Structure 1
Amino acid sequence: MDLTDDLLCDPYGVYDRLRTASPVHRIMGTDGQPAWLVTRYEDVRAGLADPRLSLDKGNASPGQYQGLQLPPTLDANLLNMDPPDHTRIRRLVGRAFTAPRTEQLRAPIRATADRLLDAMGSEGSADLIAAYAAPLPITVICELLGVPGRRRKDFRAWVQALIAPDPARPRAGKEAVGAMMHYFAELIAHKRQEPADDLLSDMISAHDAQNGQLSQEELISLVFLILNAGFENTVQLIGNAVWTLLQNPDQLVALRTDPSMIPAAVEELARIEGPALLAIRRFPTEDVTIGGVKVPAGETVLLSLSAANRDPERFSVPDRLDISRDATGHLALGHGIHYCLGASLARAETEIALAALLDRYPHLALDGDKPSMWRRSLRARGLTSLRVRFRAGPNA
């Protein structure tokens, strides 16, 4: 079945109907190739951790949906790898995203958030995505990687061309990939000559000191993955969270009344309006049975995170935002060995972004008749714009 148009218009309604009808459906991917869509929480959670469901495209049968196609240098990333390569590379970069390292970044993240809010002013209106939700994570990721300030606008433009392509510029995405590959190679060469206290220098050191444990292609693709995933997911978490709170004024009042609820609220907001509709596609290395349906080896499996997170068998009244809910176990950031590498950082950025925004603007509201625009994507759930009006509080 081809659900493209319906899913673009009403993803949660479609997923609810599919989940109610059957746990697994045969659908057509965005490139016209077939795939199996899994919709129920228990099946999706199990699938995310099932070692028989491979991310390696080499395990795909001919003619199967394989998702985004990248040049070989950028394709050698964690989203296309299984153990042992996945284990080796994740271990090398994982220490940059630990909870203690994230805690060290909280103060700089808050300082960045405050600077962006200063630039917005004390009264007026703005596109919150362009003015706040997008520049905050790109600044954090570029700081983490050691990208010079003068190149950060380029980075943001490149990522934007990939995640929200302009129909009027059909070659923009390909041009952005080429520009990124060229700059990454240039930046790696610079960091090799002049290392600094940043993640990229650490990865280069691991590559050089351990007899090339990271290949040059893996190094470049890691930078690409960290930049794109670290930016895109967090922009969507922040933007979606603000939009959802403004749609639910009772929950917004509760959060303003008790800001200590922000960490729990971020979990609930990620559950109900997370950054990804689907997990990265997977290919069974042998015939598997999912939800009572036999899926042959080599065919494409799509695990719906958003359908799972609104499964009434797992979450009571799942379409209702409830920031007092225990949303533990939601799958917005994955599960198993492929759980989002930067999850702790994304959470911290979203918590800080919400705290700073709500503290600065107690009168924040949607602006205009059509204040928001959602990206047309079957994979990502995010806003391309969010118009708000605001007036600062007395202590701003």
Structure 2
Amino acid sequence: MDHLLVVNAGSSSIKFRIYAVLPGDRLDLDLKGAFDGIGAHPHLFADDDHGRRVEDDAFTAGQVPTVAAALDRLDDWLLERLGGERPVAVGHRVVHGGPDFANPVPVDDAVIAKLEALVPLAPLHQPNNLLPIRIIRDRLPGVPQVACFDTAFHRGHPDVADRFALPEALYREGVRRYGFHGLSYEFIAHRLAEIAPDLAKGRVVACHLGAGASACAMVDGRSVESTMGFTALDGLPMATRTGQLDPGVVLYLVQAKGLGAAAIERLLYRESGLLGLSGVSADMRDLEASREPGAVLAIDYFVHRIVREIGALAAAMQGLDGIVFTAGIGENSAALRARVMERLAWLGLVADPAANARRDTVVSAAGSRVQALVVPTDEEFMIARHTLATLRAMAPAG
């Protein structure tokens, strides 16, 4: 039986899945897992298709100091798990596709070169997305690899949502609003069509709230506006990223504080957001458990920005039929969902506190004019679908 491998690599973790390809190109999840804590407390774990734990190994930091070292161990383990058989293809999440990539593409040297040029636009993600591609090319030559982009879902935006008020020459060079978390939003659109088809055809704001956070306006399942722009810094505050920032602040940091590009990048990407506001933690669970004033401020600010962006996206769509909470915070923090829904009562959203506490799919009350749902995201499934479709398109005719 043919299998697909999906790899979603970050700075200190690698999420992976193996899908069996069934007749009719149906995808059946065979294995899911992750290698997390790389370089600190490395931990490899995996569950089979019934949710049973089939691997649970801890390592010292010295044994698995880097993502590359983790990939070496993971590759050996996966090949053993597949009985020595190679996957028929490997799909990867790549955060930034730039102006050249509006759809998933087979990976070759030219594609890699273009994606490497985008590293400055996604320094936390792009290098780690590309590393597994290189390693797998060396270890599994001949196995097709497919790059699937977080920016692709947003490529149909109208010009007014796609541009900055900058000279045309910069737009032609690729300085434009791309939007991110597209694989997550694409899955939400796909899932809404199954569980709430009427809502899926309407005007929805999906809120991807995790260590990275953004919101996306969707009309009839298509992205029309997003809070993220040229880079994954824009919009909502995140675990360690600023979110929306007056560009004059960057000029001030250069001119008055004497900071260089590297120091500013570190500040904006790694030292700001919930961590910078709270001085306590970048993790929402820690903040919700803390009584420190900074933690309270960070949560208040996060809620304020979410509500503000939902209002702006609703205005862009000229109305709002529903909101969707997804990703780590969105799916798991009932307290944060309750605060956001309370602040949206003026739009006609009436929360159901009991349903919200249970994390039901629908967390708004019956009769609420604006619906609120909790929908777990599944970026890896979308990557698998795109990878299989790309693989089939690569096959010679006849």
Normalising to structure 2: TM-score of the pair? 0.25
Higher percent of residues as helix: 1
Normalising to structure 1: TM-score of the pair? 0.25
Q: Which has the higher contact order (CA 8 A, sep 6+)?
A: 1
Higher percent of residues as strand: 2
